[in-house]
Structure 1
Amino acid sequence: MEATETMMGRGRDAIDMIVDADSFNEGTVGAKTFDDPEFGPGAVVGTAALNGEEVTIIASDANAFNEKFPVVYAGIIGMEEGYKMAQAVYASLEADKDKPAAQKRSLVLIVDTPGNGPGKVEEIFGMNKATGAYQLALAEARLAGHPIVAMVIGRAISGAFLCHGLQADHIVSLDANFGTMIHVMPLTSVSRIIRKDLETLQELSKGNPVFAAGPRFFYALGGVEELVGTLDGMRPTIIEHIKAIRAAKAAGEAEKLGPWGRGQLGAERDGRKVRPEVIKLMNQEFAAVAEKYAPSR
């Protein structure tokens, strides 16, 4: 695999490479203005044009440091960042609430985050509520008709990817030769949790996408819709996926999008062969007892 230029730590550069020239207006989404530079500095939000259409941009800034929370640096999504990103989504929903589905703005998520990395203060204050609020906001926007595309340019790791990416309609990623990293948990942590030796897990990771990391393995699992082979390819790929998402929603095929759609895609690619069988079994077991727990009429 030939190494090439990395985009890790270059979230702001990616914005300029993706949107129409000189169109990014940072800190404004609809009627909402983010005018406090010290609130969630690791989150970059704003409005831009993409192929002439208005879009909301939400990105991580790996060069920012949140002085109030020392663990929030290098692209980590902290408590303030989570809330700031959620506010940008809700501002998009509010701005387009009276527009038909075909005119609702797209949301483009630029993903380069090594995780949440909460400290004790964030845990006490409710870090989980911040990331949960962002996930909920994206789910609401997706169900309301806004096309959402996540573009992985660097790291997409653990709970941070869960809140900043996995609720998107489609996820696309730069290929592995850009140094792109996608995984839920490093094998060292998996080893401790499931009590399997590291050597066994490393051997499994060579051929089993469940244990492996990286964009190509996530592609096999259906977790990534498309791999992008060039930096110049990011912009047209996102534009095409926005068109595809709009078409699917207009055709009433929303089940082919988002987390549920990626599960189906994984089965089609033979990366998640057991999932459909488990779902079928669970549905059968539920049907067998549904009458017992169904509300009385």
Structure 2
Amino acid sequence: MQAKNDWKSIAAALFPEGHSITEQDCFLSGYGKFDGQQIGVIGTTEHTPIGVEIALAQAQAILRIVREHPAMPILMLIDTQGQRLRHRDEMLGINSYMAHLGKCVDLARRQGHRIIGLVYDQALSGGFITSGLMADACYALPDATIRVMGLPAMARITKVPEERLLELAQSNPVFAPGPENYQRMGGLGAIWEGNLAAHLRAALAQPLAGDIRSGLGLERGGRRYAQTVINAVQHGSAVQIN
């Protein structure tokens, strides 16, 4: 599959002062110069699936930044078709590798690293869960493709006819792919159009407020009950859903 957006042009737009990002076997790593400081960068390209090798490489890169560059911001460039579906990866315990990656991201956050995700092309399934959805905030380009599961696969799993799911997708963002729907649900902070360096600067300047995705989903009308349930659990009260 041909990627819609070339990572090199995206990196050049994000870091007009220059960068040292390199690609090896669809894995991106390096540093970008930004407003007089450096930003650590890890990511993937060419819609590559996340197998044990890339999951481990990303985890190693994050731990290297934590060890060698305290409190350095980390940008995750996301372009993946999701978890690699191979018998070999399953037998090696791909779930444990991806869990390890998620723990490394959380460790970096706890050590004071601001973590930002940017879906610049495609984000599917488990490959998105352990990258953009683990970041402090995730953003996307307008023509990015984002979904957890395609409607044909969803129809097979849920036994709901695909035609019905297509109908539901017209009014419910949970069933519909695309950055606009994930923004409505709160999974994306914003969609970046125009000057990417300016968007990155604004994202880095945002105060940390914990996980606010459910609140954003309620505010934007994409997830009406998640924050309600969270509030009820926190206060030990009954959940009222109309």
Normalising by structure 2, we get a TM-score of 0.90
Instruction: Look up the match of 2:154.
Output: 190
The residue number in structure 2 matching 1:49 is 33
Out of 257, 273, 276, the position equivalent to 2:224 is 273
CA RMSD of aligned residues (A): 2.2
Asked if residue 214 in structure 1 is aligned to residue 167 in structure 2, the reply is no
1:237 to 199, 214, 224: 199
**Aligned with 2:8: secondary structure?**
helix
By how many angstroms is 1:9 displaced?
Answer: 5.2
Match of 1:19 among 15, 20, 23: 15
**Residue 262 (structure 1) aligned to one of 213, 219, 229:** 213
Unaligned runs of 5+ in 2: none
Cα deviation, residue 282, structure 1: 3.8
SS of residue in 2 equivalent to 1:166: helix
2:89 partner letter: E
Structure 2: how far apart are the matches of 1:12 and 1:286? 51
Instruction: Give the equivalent residue in structure 1 for 2:50.
Output: 77
Opposite residue 91 of structure 1, the aligned amino acid is R
Aligned partners of 1:52 and 1:26: how far apart in 2? 21
Question: TM-score, normalized by length of structure 1?
Answer: 0.74
- Show the counterpart of 1:295: none
Partner amino acid, structure 2, of 1:268: E
Kindly state the Cα deviation for residue 215 of structure 1 after the two structures are TM-superposed: 0.3
Structure whose CA Rg is larger = 1
The residue type equivalent to 2:130 in the other structure is C
1:88 maps to 61
Aligned to 1:152: 119
Contact 2:21/2:28 (CA < 8 Å) preserved in 1?
Answer: no
151, 165, 169: which one aligns with 1:205: 169
Q: Tell me how far 1:77 sits from its aligned partner.
A: 1.8
1:19-74 CA-partner distances (Å, limit 9, x unpaired): 244331548xxxxxxxxx5xxx2211112212221111112131xxxxxxxxxxx4
CA contact (8 A) 1:157 1:184 kept: yes
Q: Shift of residue 234 of structure 1? A: 1.7
Question: How far did 1:182 drift?
Answer: 0.6
2:107 match: 140
SS of equivalent to 1:223: coil
Aligned to 2:88: 121
Does the 8 Å contact 1:115/1:160 carry over to 2?
yes
Distance, in Å, in 1 between the alignment partners of 2:231 and 2:165 is 28
Contact 2:11 2:19 (C-alpha < 8 Å) held by counterparts: no
Displacement of 1:210 in angstroms is 1.1
| Secondary structure of residue in 1 paired with 2:118 | strand
Deviations 1:88-126 (A, max 9, x none): 1111111234xxxxxx21101111111122311111112
Deviations 1:191-224 (A, max 9, x none): 1112111111100000101111100011110111
Deviation at 1:283, TM superposition (A): 4.3
Tell me what 1:67 maps to.
none
1: CA distance, partners of 2:101 / 2:5: 22
**Partner in structure 2 of residue 58 of structure 1:** 42
| Residue 13 of structure 1: how far off its partner (Å) | 3.1
Q: 1:13 to 1:7 in 2, by over 3 A?
A: farther
CA distance in 1 between counterparts of 2:57 and 2:225 reads: 38
The code of the aligned residue for 1:47 comes to: Y
Contact 2:17/2:34 (8 A) holds in 1: no
Aligned length: 237
